[in-house]
Amino acid sequence: MSRLAVSLTSVFFVALLGAGRAHDYHVSVTQMQYNPAQKLWEISIRVFTDDLEKALSLANNNRRFEVLTNDQNDTYVETYLRRHFQVQGPDQQVKAFRYLGKEQEADATWIYVEVPFPGNPSGWSLQNNIFSEVFDDQVNMVNLKMAAQKKTLMFRKGQFHQPL
């Protein structure tokens, strides 16, 4: 995908996430930035809050959730994320991430995690099926940045696993 196409796609999805009212589209936008000093991915995942609440409810026997910045739902958010957002090494093992928390922004929620990473993406992959069990049309966009290298991955039904 050309840089212009990636930029326009990113702007489009970010604009969709900032719409501020009920939505007919289901999208998440993830930023993955490599930190070479600490040898880890710094990951920010932006989702619609109402979609997150629906997914948490579905995963927890239809319990009602209200996601706020300073609520008691971090354990549920972390558990959900561990099932639906996974970085795998060349050995095909899921690499544990460190859940840092979440924060509210209008109708969106930012979720923050870190994943240890040695610096060579060869053989590494990402699974991202966030909300796919809730919405058939869910699209999860991941923007990767490692030094000067940038890459965008699109995850949708039938395509939940891709190489980094």
Can you say whether the dihedral through the CA atoms of 93, 98, 103, 105 is positive or negative?
A: negative
Which residue has tokens 């326009």? 8
pLDDT at 17: 46
Give the amino acid at 86.
Answer: Q
Dist. CA 85–CA 106, nearest whole Å: 23
Residues 22-64 pLDDT 10s: 678 899 999 999 999 999 999 999 999 999 999 999 999 989 9
164 is a domain residue: no
Residue 118 neighbours by CB distance under 10 Å = 10
- Whether residue 32 is contained in a domain is answered as yes
- Whether 67 is covered by a domain: the verdict is yes
Instruction: Tell me what pLDDT residue 24 has.
Output: 80
In a domain, 17, yes or no: yes
Using 50, 70 and 90 to split pLDDT, how confident is the model at 105?
very high
Please write the tens of the pLDDT for every residue from 1-33. 555 444 444 444 444 444 445 678 899 999 999
The 10s digit of each residue's pLDDT in 107-125 is 999 999 999 998 888 999 9
pLDDT at 22: 62
Does residue 21 lie in a domain region? yes
Domain range for residue 72? 3-159
Find the DSSP H helices in 26-127: 49-59, 74-84
- Record the pTM: 0.84
Considering its fold, how many domains does the chain have in total?
A: 1
Q: Return the higher-pLDDT residue of 92 and 23.
A: 92
